[in-house]
Amino acid sequence: MDPSRKRTIRFVVALSAAVLLAGALALTSFSASTEARQPSELVDAAPTPGTKYQLVGKVVAGYKTTGDTTHFRVRDRDGSVSVPVTYAGRLPDPFRADREIVIDVVKQGDVYVGQVGTLITKCPSKFTAEKTST
């Protein structure tokens, strides 16, 4: 076979493999991903019960733990709109009022139920933006 034709074939095969990989990655990502929302966006969007969302926001002071379950509210980073969340799992060590958290939730009734093991609290030291009071 002509060497330049060989090279062209190899190039096309390599490019096709790359395109396939990228396509598979895109398809898998969009189908398996969770939508991230702040509390005000969740409230405005009237979420479908049973659909999972990734809630991002700050913990409002005054949360309570009863047995294994913690009841707390999460508010927008820069606002006051908040939603109630229940979480039946161990709280991460950095979990505190006014800390930013990320948690997967599913709406059940008027409350958002946090999925166990999905609660992440951002570490508060180092590059903090200006402190806001609760």
CB-wise, 91 or 111, nearer to other proteins? 91
Length of the chain (residues): 134
User: How far is CA 124 from its chain centroid?
Assistant: 18
Q: How far apart (Å, rounded) are the C-alpha atoms in residues 50 and 48?
A: 6
User: Under a CB-based contact definition with an 8 Å cutoff, are residues 45 and 87 in contact?
Assistant: no
Q: Does 46 bind other proteins (CB under 8 A)?
A: no
Q: Tell me phi and psi for residue 24, to 5 degrees.
A: -60, -40
Q: Which of 8, 19, 62, 123 binds other proteins (CB under 8 A)?
A: 123
Among 94, 106, 111, 113, binds other proteins (CB under 8 A): 94
* Closer CB to other proteins, 7 or 79, in the complex: 7
Q: In the numeric block, which tokens belong to residue 50?
A: 């049973």
Residues that bind other proteins (CB under 8 A): 3, 7, 10, 14, 17-18, 21-22, 24-26, 28-30, 32-37, 54, 56, 65-66, 68, 89-94, 96, 100, 102, 120-129
